[in-house]
Structure 1
Amino acid sequence: MLPPVPSPADYGITSNYGFLSPDLPLEVLPDPYYARWESIVHNLQALILSKRLQTMVQHLPILSTSNLKTDAEWRRAYVVLVFMLHGYVWSGNCPEERIPPQLTVPLFEVCERLEVPPVATYAGVCLWNYKPIFPDEPANTLDNIACLQTFTGSLDEQWFYLVSVAIEARGAPSIPLMLRAITAARTGDSRIVTDCLQRLAETIDETSSLLQRMYDNCDPYVFYNRIRPYLAGSKNMSDAGLPNGLLYDDGQNPQYRQYGGGSNAQSSLIQFFDIVLGVEHRPTGTTRGDQVPAESKSRHSFIHEMRTYMPGPHRRFLEHVDTVSNIRSFVEARRTDSALTIAYDACLAMLRVLRDKHITMVSRYIILQSRAKPQPQTPARTNLATATTEKKKMRGTGGTALIPFLKQARDETGEPAIDAWARRLLSDGPADKTFASLSKVGEMPDGHLEVVGLCGTWTADDSEGGICHW
């Protein structure tokens, strides 16, 4: 007997807002008991600027989470605590290694309730961190949303989060759409599946256009040097000053822990696209011909690892969808249905274009910025922006070298293509002279990435990476 197709509502997912909070995130915790937390995050930029944030946190009482009542309050508490946590760690000249009980104790309790790790995640900085500008208008487009919390107070940081919020909202209708396609595939209804795939291709194309909006209001220099360091986690961050990770002190049994930081690779929407289309991701560095056990894929793939940073209900929803996903096999069994195969291959092409555009973005926001001559700082600071050197791998906020990851994830997206023209178009090898290959952002046939910009022409080797997004 086939497992039932999941109901998004069972996992707190809606057709209007998708993986965004089903209710608008709270702007403040309503119970006055938490006024001290709210006072700190309300003045976060001033406390960072005046170097008083650590002292303020250290003088906090250890507040109980027993006064948190609704899901929205638990999510707000998480946002408040992780913004305090990352500000506490990264706002000084060197990172603070020990997290005091004032943060550790309530954060552990909140994270256990929400099933997220005690670190800033995509959910904390994007999904649960927005509000409408005008409450009587929908909060699902870039022209009517603002951020609740930032580290820097800059427009650039707000925009960086809000583009992701808008992408999540735009992609939301695709969730019930593709669940309908899965149901239709079970009954052999090619017409409905084709229609759903055509609409999904349009949706992915629109999310790709939204990603391009990042350039409108987020300056690469500001992002690399001012914003990105605050999003860093504690995994693989030796060069940034955390060789052992963070020491979470709960007052009884302090433990070093290492977590990746906030990353758009933690977006459930993008992984949903992969799952329903049957795109499989292998451990970074392996090729299609390599023999990789199924259990090894989930254990070592960076994309699979990022699911552990998603809220528990979202993670379980993806796992449920994975058990019923049948679109790829449905299309492969009907290769003579040209409308169906073209619609399916179009989805893969749009998803690959999205990843291609992201590689361009990483190049502009990360790699070119890392090559620019650093401005002198007095006193010198140690963080993710200052740790990069020519001889060391650049790390993304999630703690991994990402050019290999991003290129492989993009190339894997085209592997399920059905028609010969689509396989050639989406191939990661040299293009047939009779076919135009999909743009690879200046990538050479040998896999190197050439970028031409104000800093000249250079090549990004596989040993270098960028931010973790899709």
Structure 2
Amino acid sequence: MSLAELASYGIIPQRGFLCTHDAPDVRFEGHLADARDVALRIPEFLPAGKLRDAVHAHLPPVDAHAIAALDESQVRMAMVHYSFLAQSYIWGGVEPASSLPATIAVPIVALAGRLGQQPLLQYSGYVLDNWGTIDPGRPIGLDNIYMIQKFAGGIDEAWFVLVHVAIEARAGEALALIAPLIEAARDGDEVHARSLLEQMVVVWSDVSAIFDRMPDQCDPYIYFHRVRPYIHGWKDNPALKGGIVYEGVEKFAGKPQVFRGQTGSQSSIVPIMDALLGVGHAADPLKAYLDDLHAYRPPAHRRFIDDVRAHSTLRAFVTEKRDRELIGVYNRAVQAVADFRSRHLEYAASYINKQGSQSAGNDTEIGTGGTPFMKYLKKHRDETAAMMIPA
């Protein structure tokens, strides 16, 4: 692996796993432009309880042929808009809907096919492809980014997403260190490996500092009751009996489909660190869930994680060298990931688990991905911390 190959995974150091195109500049024509306009009005329709009426009245039909003619940036931006429409339609009424109308179902399935992902909202559509810079000449940071497509709107919703955008951007520098670290381990270069790991620890310190800012403008009560209800999926959600019917989609033959909901666990920054550092997770139902989430990432990002896991001998190299300074900085890198997972666990407790009341589909015990998330997060935090190498 070499730095020159990073772009082949759709990654640049300045943006990490964020989209490499400028999402606000993406344009559509004809019915797709009309569909985008309906999607951007979701914050108007949801509070009035008129989202489903608006979809039936105003959302034009778009067939698979129109999707096939789009370039990649258009496909990814269209997926943002249609996935927000799908989530709003299912969860935007007094009771969840049991099906998606063809005007949403047909294009979103075609878009998912182009992307190699699933036909509902995923982390890539919620975060990675759903932002813009206020001043394109300045760096990506919380003081210079905005959320393009929204559900209800408001500071809390935007801040929740933008903190993740800022984290992904800062993590880009760490991604650029991965190939050199693999090469240093392969070449037996302790000095270079130690220097690169020191840089990695600094990046992750910055990532954690950004994550610490979540409570600044995202209140736990508002998040649970006004943001979270719309990002649940159709799998393992007690409010949905058997999944969602995608009307007009021939390959599904009218049978309900189940897909996992958007979750921060679909981000690739922690799994790529697991792959680099040689962190493993015990085989059990929660490990199976983690593996299941891998299919919800963009294919190029999946390939990057798989390639790093296949090529990284960093843990074995550090273990074999028995150099105290090298072991120390490797352990600090492991601890940085464990600390990030600990903060995620703390937020899950305060933003979800401790919220007393709930509504249909918005359970305090079940994550948006459809799992008992507290147990899941604790397990992977503890497994990460256990990977320290004795000095």
Where does 1:340-351 land on structure 2 (aligned, <5 Å)?
340-351=326-337
SS of structure 2 residue aligned to 1:255: coil
Identify unmatched segments of 5+ residues in structure 2. Answer: none
Quote the Cα distance in structure 1 between the aligned partners of 2:158 and 2:134: 13
Q: Displacement of 1:32 after TM fit?
A: 3.3
1:427-448 alpha-carbon deviations (Å, 9 max, x no partner): xxxxxxxxxxxxxxxxxxxxxx
Say yes or no: does 1:132 pair with 2:133: yes
Q: Report sequence identity in percent.
A: 31
1:267-286 alpha-carbon deviations (Å, 9 max, x no partner): 11111111101111224578
Partner in structure 2 of residue 377 of structure 1: none
Q: Displacement of 1:330 after TM fit?
A: 0.6
Quote the Cα distance in structure 2 between the aligned partners of 1:283 and 1:54: 42
Partner in structure 2 of residue 41 of structure 1: 39
Partner in structure 2 of residue 356 of structure 1: 342
SS of structure 2 residue aligned to 1:131: strand
Where does 1:104-253 land on structure 2 (aligned, <5 Å)?
104-138=105-139, 140-238=140-238, 241-250=239-248, 252=250, 253=253
Equivalent pair of 2:17/2:128 in contact (CA under 8 Å): yes
Q: Which moved more, 1:316-325 or 1:75-84?
A: 316-325
Quote the Cα distance in structure 2 between the aligned partners of 1:339 and 1:143: 37
Q: Displacement of 1:147 after TM fit?
A: 0.1
Q: Displacement of 1:49 after TM fit?
A: 2.1
Equivalent pair of 2:26/2:73 in contact (CA under 8 Å): no
- Correspondence for 1:9 among 7, 10, 18: 7
1:85-109 alpha-carbon deviations (Å, 9 max, x no partner): 0000011000011111111111111
Q: Displacement of 1:128 after TM fit?
A: 0.2
1:260-306 alpha-carbon deviations (Å, 9 max, x no partner): 111110111111111101111224578xxxxxxxxxxxxx5322221
Quote the Cα distance in structure 2 between the aligned partners of 1:172 and 1:208: 14
- Correspondence for 2:385 among 414, 438, 456: 414
Identify unmatched segments of 5+ residues in structure 1. Answer: 287-299, 375-380, 389-393, 421-470
Taking a change above 3 Å as real, the CA distance of residues 35 and 13 of structure 1, as seen in their structure-2 partners, is: same
1:145-201 alpha-carbon deviations (Å, 9 max, x no partner): 000011111110100000111000001011121210101111111111111111111
Taking a change above 3 Å as real, the CA distance of residues 27 and 230 of structure 1, as seen in their structure-2 partners, is: farther
Quote the Cα distance in structure 1 between the aligned partners of 2:172 and 2:35: 32
1:7-66 alpha-carbon deviations (Å, 9 max, x no partner): 211111111111100111135533233232122112111111222221232343321354
Say yes or no: does 1:63 pair with 2:62: yes
Partner in structure 2 of residue 401 of structure 1: 372
Partner in structure 1 of residue 352 of structure 2: 366
Quote the Cα distance in structure 2 between the aligned partners of 1:284 and 1:360: 23
Quote the Cα distance in structure 2 between the aligned partners of 1:96 and 1:150: 20
Q: Displacement of 1:416 after TM fit?
A: 2.3
Equivalent pair of 1:6/1:317 in contact (CA under 8 Å): no
Quote the Cα distance in structure 2 between the aligned partners of 1:311 and 1:232: 19
Where does 1:234-313 land on structure 2 (aligned, <5 Å)?
234-238=234-238, 241-250=239-248, 252=250, 253-284=253-284, 300-313=287-300
How many residues align structurally?
386
Where does 1:306-321 land on structure 2 (aligned, <5 Å)?
306-321=293-308
Quote the Cα distance in structure 2 between the aligned partners of 1:283 and 1:5: 33
Quote the Cα distance in structure 2 between the aligned partners of 1:27 and 1:84: 21
Quote the Cα distance in structure 2 between the aligned partners of 1:65 and 1:39: 19
Q: Displacement of 1:72 after TM fit?
A: 0.8
Quote the Cα distance in structure 1 between the aligned partners of 2:285 and 2:107: 39
1:205-248 alpha-carbon deviations (Å, 9 max, x no partner): 2111111100100000000111111010011112xx20211111
Quote the Cα distance in structure 2 between the aligned partners of 1:228 and 1:141: 23
SS of structure 1 residue aligned to 2:146: strand
Q: Displacement of 1:368 after TM fit?
A: 1.5
Equivalent pair of 2:131/2:145 in contact (CA under 8 Å): yes
Letter in 1 for 2:168: E
Larger radius of gyration: 1
Taking a change above 3 Å as real, the CA distance of residues 356 and 129 of structure 1, as seen in their structure-2 partners, is: same
Instruction: State TM-score, norm by structure 1.
Output: 0.79
SS of structure 1 residue aligned to 2:245: strand
Say yes or no: does 1:324 pair with 2:311: yes
Equivalent pair of 1:28/1:38 in contact (CA under 8 Å): no
SS of structure 2 residue aligned to 1:124: helix
Q: Which moved more, 1:359-368 or 1:52-61?
A: 52-61
Q: Displacement of 1:69 after TM fit?
A: 2.8
